[in-house]
Structure 1
Amino acid sequence: MLQQIRKLFEQIGRGADVEVSVDKDVRMISAALLAEVATVDQKLDQRERATLTRLLQSHYQLDSSAAETLVTEALAHRDRATSLYEFTQTVNAQFSDREKYALVLQMWQVAFSDNVIEPFEEHLIRRVAELIHLPHGRFTRARAEARELRQREQRDDPKGMGKER
């Protein structure tokens, strides 16, 4: 996944024709980073996948099919990932401070979706936050906000009977 994105940005840098739009590139970068959180522990919980899909659908105003396709593509190419730098470099170039915060918040939401924060998940999110220059206070605020959102979801639907998780 990271290699494909690197190749894409090399094409953009050379002025080559690129078939995908900048919006799609940003969506794929977000999807890839969220998918990395969901799979960093080498297992993909259905709640994590459902949260990942829901977040992308909501944030990028996608229909459910487009969001699921984006998630599937991000997960299918995960094995090719080599470095976070290519992603975070693009995030730094194209995301506002508010969008960076939203990305880290979404990463935390994916991590909290299975009710267990694995050390690998926390490390990955912390590393991304550092690479995108998100101040530590905003990093911890995003974590607290994601925890609060998860607790609210569980209060509103204690048996998980509503939305798919």
Structure 2
Amino acid sequence: MLSKINQFFQSLGAEGQQQTNEISLEIACSVLLCEVMLADGQLDNAEQQKLSDIISKQFQLSNEEVQDIIKRSLALCENATDFYQFTSKINESYSTEQRITMLELLWKVAYADGELDSIEEHIIRKISDLLHLRHSEYIQTKLNCQTKNHPSR
């Protein structure tokens, strides 16, 4: 009986590890960007366009590839229970500077509609922590994006 239970838990662990390995870097980044876009409960056209532009530019993908990645990312967002499986993929592949760039991209999506919702800020903070970035890097990227989106501030 105990061996069957143990096998069950081992199979769950193996499936979870396999799923994490199947997630590409593009998908991992896109899921996090989608999470920020969806955080305020509104699918804003400006945020959707910013998301498409970022993915296209960041990964040098065609419009069709970008739409496919966004579609897959949105599906993963619906079923994800946390951000760890995505941030761990980024941590494995990205340097600190690249993770800071990723954080800037998250802020760009959040500010794309002209306003920052507190839930968007909260999600970005959580992701920043999971990317092992310092609080000062979180604040600096926020200020940089805030200044670019609202030059009068």
CA RMSD of aligned residues (A): 2.3
Q: Percent identity?
A: 24
Q: How does 1:55-66 map to 2 (within 5 A)?
A: 55-66=54-65
- Tell whether 2:101 aligns with 1:102: yes
CA distance in 2 between counterparts of 1:116 and 1:68 reads 25
Shift of 1:75: 1.6
Q: TM-score, normalised by structure 2?
A: 0.81
Q: Partner of 2:116: helix, strand, or coil?
A: coil
| 1:43 counterpart residue number | 42
Equivalences for 1:70-149 in 2 at 5 Å? 70-149=69-148
Write out per-residue CA displacement over residues 39-90 of structure 1, whole angstroms, 9 at most, x where no aligned residue: 0122211111110110010011111221122112212332101111222222
Which whole-Å CA distance do the structure 1 matches of 2:92 and 2:125 have between them? 19
Aligned-pair distance for 1:8? 7.6
* Aligned-partner Cα distance in 2 for 1:150–1:75: 26
Shift of 1:98: 1.1
Compare CA radii of gyration and give the structure with the larger one. Answer: 2
**Structure 2: any 5+ residue segments left out of the alignment?**
1-12
Q: Residue 5 of structure 2 aligns with which residue?
A: none
Cα deviation code 1:100-147 (max 9, x no counterpart) = 001110000000000111111000001111111111111111112222
TM-score scaled to structure 1, two decimals? 0.75
In 1, the alpha carbon distance for the partners of 2:36 and 2:14 equals 23
User: Helix, strand or coil: the match of 1:44?
Assistant: coil
Q: C-alpha displacement at 1:12, in angstroms?
A: 7.8
Distance (Å, rounded) in 2 between the aligned partners of 1:121 and 1:12: 26
Tell me whether 105-114 or 35-44 shows the greater mean CA deviation. 35-44
Q: Which runs of 5+ in 1 are unaligned?
A: 1-5, 153-165
Give the corresponding residue for 1:161: none
3-state secondary structure, aligned to 2:85: helix
